[in-house]
Amino acid sequence: MSNSINENIVYGQLDASYRAAGEKDGIERLCRDFYQIMDTEPEAKSIRRMHKDDLEVMIDKLTLFLCLWLGGPKWYAQKYPFVGMPQAHQHLVINEAERDAWLLCMDKAVALQPFEKSFKEYLCAQFRFPANMIMRTSRSSEL
C-alpha cells in the first residue's frame, strides 16, 4: 500500500516527500509557521527559551535541514557543518514535556499547510522518530 493518494508516489522515496511539501518554499512556510506557533503557544514556553530571540537563523537551519531530510537538495550540508540532530541537541535538557511541546508546534504547523491529507499524516508520524531520538540522546548525556 502506498503512503500517497497517487499510487506512483511513495513518501520517503527519492524526493517524493520534498515535492509533496512544496519544495523549498513550502518547507520554509512550514518552518515559519512552526516557529510562530512556538512563539505563541503556552505549552511551548520551555522550548522557546532554548532559542535566541531572533529566530531567522533557526528558520533557515530548519528549512534547509528539512529540505535534505525530505529527500531534496543538500543545501544544509553546504551552508552549515553537518551534525546529526541528536548530537546538535545534546546540550539541552529534553524530556517528554519538551518533546511533546515540539511535536505539538510541528503538528499545528503541518495542519496549516496546503499538503495532501495523506502527506500531513505521514509527515507528523515521521517527526516522532527524530523527536524521540533527540529526547533519548539528551537523557543519556545527563548520566
- Which amino acid, 44? A
pLDDT of residue 1: 35
pLDDT of residue 88: 77
pTM (2 d.p.) = 0.89
In eight-state DSSP terms, residue 5 is S
pLDDT of residue 7: 61
| pLDDT per residue of the chain (143 residues) written in tens, 0 to 9 | 344 445 678 999 999 999 999 999 999 999 999 999 999 999 999 999 999 999 999 999 999 999 999 999 999 989 988 767 777 787 888 999 999 999 999 999 999 999 999 999 999 999 999 999 999 988 665 55
pLDDT of residue 140: 62
- Which amino acid, 43? E
Q: 128 is written with which cell numbers?
A: 516522532
pLDDT of residue 125: 98
Contact 106, 34 (CB under 8 A): yes
Q: Taking the C-alpha atoms of 66, 118, 6 and 21 in order, what is their torsion angle to the nearest 10 degrees?
A: -20
Closest to 76 (Cα-Cα) out of 66, 85, 86, 84? 66
Domains in the chain: ranges and CATH: 16-136 (1.10.490.10)
Q: What's the gap between Cα 10 and its chain centre? A: 19
Which residue reads 519538551 in cell numbers?
A: 98
Dihedral pair phi/psi, residue 61, rounded to 5°: -60, -45
